[in-house]
Amino acid sequence: MNTRDELILAAERLFAVHGVDGVSLRRISATTGQRNVAAAQYHFGDKQALIQAIFDFRLAHVDADRRALLDRVRAEGRTNDVRALVEALVLPLAAQATRPDSHYLRFLNRMCDHQGRAVVPLSDIGPVNSAVEVGHLILDALGPAPDPRTAQRNSLAGRLIISGLADLEHQVGAAGPSPDTEVYAAGLVDAVVAVLTAPSSVPRPQDA
């Protein structure tokens, strides 16, 4: 593995454990055993560029897997099936969470914290067009005129996906038996679909 990739993986792990604001570029360099403690700054310039590099390192593979699932959903004529669309969001990330030494989902969770728990800005980083595309399809599948509070549910669903898979990644990397990834992912999909489709207990503004 080259120095640049070593720095990316070290940064992903340290950000996942300590948060984005809790880790300096010098610490990342030192963790990889670099004699030059400015190695991270030399390769990436600043912390924001290093964060971008982490996304670039991981997202191309995740996005390719999601596009394959989305192509299958379209081929089967299931673009109105909310569960099938949520699976296209969740399953590629679940697969990433089970990769050896992955800290990517915990890094994503920390990034949400860093951005005030906002998931949407993540869509501005890296090749995540397929995730945005699936999100639009889910909105269409929920109906032509969704409840104006749908945005709240979408935000909650996004947070649930990231935090749930961060927990899966932690369990996979911890000592002891790992969870059944397929069962865990299916349960997470169930929960996200429920968040998106459950009937509202509060009248719409126009009905109040």
Question: What pLDDT is attached to residue 177?
Answer: 79
Q: Each residue of 157-171: pLDDT tens digit?
A: 999 999 999 999 999
CA distances to 79, 95, 110, 112 from 67, rounded to whole Å, are 13, 14, 25, 24
203 has a pLDDT exceeding 90: no
- Residue 151 has a pLDDT of 80
More confident residue, 144 or 204: 144
What per-residue confidence (pLDDT) applies to 189?
Answer: 98
pLDDT of 125 over the 80 cut: no
What are all long-range contacts of 97-101, with beta carbons under 8 Å and residues at least 24 apart? Answer: 97/165, 97/166, 97/168, 97/169, 97/172, 97/181, 98/168, 98/169, 98/172, 98/178, 98/181, 101/9, 101/13, 101/173
Q: pLDDT tens digit string along 59-76?
A: 888 999 999 999 999 999
Write the DSSP symbol of residue 31: H
Q: What's the confidence (pLDDT) of residue 97?
A: 95
The pTM for the full model equals: 0.86
Grade residue 123 by pLDDT with cuts at 50, 70 and 90: very low
> What's the confidence (pLDDT) of residue 204?
59
Query: Is the predicted pLDDT of residue 122 greater than 60, yes or no?
Result: no
What's the pLDDT band for 152 if we cut at 50, 70, 90?
A: confident
pLDDT at residue number 65: 94
**134 contacts 88 by C-beta, under 8 angstroms:** yes
Q: Which candidate, 34, 90, 92, 21, places its Cα nearest to that of 58?
A: 92
Top-ranked range on mean pLDDT: pick from 31-35, 117-121, 170-174:
170-174
What's the rounded Cα separation, in Å, for the pair 24 and 47? Answer: 8
